[in-house]
Structure 1
Amino acid sequence: MTLRVAIVGGGPAGIYAADILTKAADQGVDVSVDILERLPAPFGLVRYGVAPDHPRIKEIIKALQRVIAKPQVRFLGNVEYGVDVKIEDLREFYDAVVVSTGAMGDRDLGIPGEEHSLGAADFVSWYDAHPDVPQTWPLEATSVAVLGVGNVALDVARVLAKTGDEMLVTDIPPHVHAALKAKTITDVHVFARRGPAYAKFSPLELRELNHSPNVEVIVHPEGFDVDAHGMAHIAEHKSQKMVLNTLTSWVGAEPVGKPHRIHLHFAEAPVEILAEDGRVTTLRTERTHSPNADGNVEGTGEITDWDVQQVYRAIGYRSTALPGLPFDDRAAVIPNDGGRVLDLDGTPIPGTYVTGWIKRGPVGLIGHTKSDAAETVGHLLAETRQTATARRPEDVDAYFAERDLEVVTHTSWERLDAHEIALGEAEGRTRVKVATRAEMLEAGRA
């Protein structure tokens, strides 16, 4: 009898888990997989978390597309866990459930005035035309601050600094282009709590920062120090050395007079955001230093006030709790042992697994996601027994039909995909994203 598995979340983590499960036939196990995704489109953060001017990264969609097109896999979009289906229902239809809902929220800063800041994840969702976010975004500023030195922070800084017309070669829809074209931002200040030896962005992302003909990168020498601890850290991480080499080549470079600037500030920790009548007026930071080899920092007492009108938090994503499943609010993950979901008393919950960022936290690249999924699926295949009472795909279809839910199938997604590509061809672009859920569903019906 076929092993029935539900995967909740259609991003890379869930799709990789599906791919590994379908290869279980090599081990003599016949597996059928349903991927349940709350959006009418698959691919998660690859579609809604990668900056539109980075199409190279989105090439991974081709590989993910091949997985969801497999005959053993069904894509069931526009299905929201906790609203359209509960964990009890899934256990009736499937022998095992794998949760891979990722992380879409922003981590908090924990400083006074934080309520006046903007979340980088929210901004990314807006410029990537996520169907569940408003189509407007406040861009009334000339100088803004971005807190964090990961790749998301660089994406946010780059999109804020580039002109709207530069972004028109990407897949952004008209409302995003119009807002970016109308913005008045001239200076974007990126702040790192630690020194340059500990910057977390990748070498390629950093180098691409100054490729725009309208944006120059300024690395400020204040705080740009690499002590013995920093040198030891660089020696252990090849990519960190490449990042430092690029940053060093930019320190003290003569301005070339481009109309927009991205400023990189190191060893500056945010301590307060000041606002008047709800509008940001100042970011206050404190100079830091690293007294130990662990890279942690301490404040020096040297305070600087920065004249900015917006502050973006780009210090990491955060997962959210799911109905009917345990959640470690402090670590913002579903508690698990190698992907086996643990109950509050620490015992594994039969047939319930987790993979991706909601398993390990929002760290690591695609390679980590693959190995993560392999670990989880390994436990699933070794432990899962056939327990579903209504195990046919038709039973699932009937359940959603009874609730008058419009489920987006792989065929529906292919229609939406072709529609977006056609919109792009009309404008000489690769694609133009459809921005609302209603439009996405309509395109899938055509």
Structure 2
Amino acid sequence: MTAALPETQHVTLRLPARGRQALQDVLADLRGASTLAPYDPVILEFCAAFAQRLSRRARGIPELQALAFWMRRAELTRLKADFEGLATERTVLMPRGLVFHVPPANVDTIFIYSWLMSVLAGNRNVIRLSSRETDQMNLILEVLNETLTEDAFAPLRGNTVMLSYGHDQTITTALSLAADVRVIWGGDRTVATIRQSPLAPHATELTFPDRFSLAAVHSGRYLAETEEQHRALAEHFFNDAFWFDQLGCSSPRLLVWVGDETDVQAASQTFFGHLQAVTTAKGYQVDTATAISKLTFGLRAALDHPVERFERLSNEVAVLPLTRFAEVRGEFCGAGLFYQLAAAKLTDLVPHIERRDQTLSHHGFEPEELRQLVTALNGRGLDRLVPFGEALNFNRYWDGHDLLQAFTRRVYLQPEAR
């Protein structure tokens, strides 16, 4: 099923780098592109080669180094083994077909993670990129285009298209109707806007809308650790919170201290002191406009929520202690502003967790304590519970979806009885 397109509909091709092209020609090329079986050696070799080249070119850019590390050959091999484990005697794993990805504008690397899980499964892909270019996005596209020029990867040319265009519903509808799967990353408003464009009747959809993430620390166990452990934990938390200026869906915005009042106060003071030192050591700075925005946001939050005070450690780190759990999931300025809450035990969070709550970064809890929290929640919220330093690490399980399965079609095969 396709939409009739005016001849004037054009998009800008970023991969392959061909500039402005007629959309109907792009769709025709995609329909005729060659395909490979899931986890074909050519796909694995291409992804590994891209990761190696990106790692060399992106020195000093931690977000891209993390992406390259996640795409290393060992991880691809593990994903292949996990994928093969999904098959049964009576099911054959096949690609779904054409996947249309709409990534967010605020996280430069998510479109590659989304594309990777799909291309490994053998799908053809079209990714709409934001017209707002960034140095990181441009570097990724440059490395992808370079890698595709290698003769060994000729079978992959043409089955992935990365393009940009303005807010044109006609184009979005044409791409949506051509797709077998549509993947929308972004806020609730983005999801609602894209959903105005229909899908083909057989197509499926994955959405990753507005999410809220938080962190929790067992105060007593934290205080029992060494200064070196405290510094290391602050570095892990820095990676979770300050990459993407705290605006990633899994970046913690609320820090919950679990324990008695004395331990909570001591642990908080120690932790944020180390976090401030880490931001200085790493050279993280915010500009004057952002610093003013944080101050304004913090003062307004003190009026709107049960905030005890506004603790400004620096332009880069500010804390808003709450007297009780409050609805702080909406507007947020990021860039090192943290709500803070005390709780007697971890399961005290249960009545306050909602479906939009995605990631809980944790430190100092036993596995059984975490499992008790998940069991008590009974599906009302939280899709990921990960240690500090892992909040932004992508994997096959995201927002409650198993992406290995989401990008795969199962063909049922029942042999004739003999």
Fold-level similarity (TM above 0.5): no
Structure 1 or 2: larger helix share?
A: 2
TM-score band by shorter chain is under 0.3
TM-score normalised per structure 2: 0.26
Name which structure has the greater RCO, CA cutoff 8 Å, separation 6+.
Answer: 1
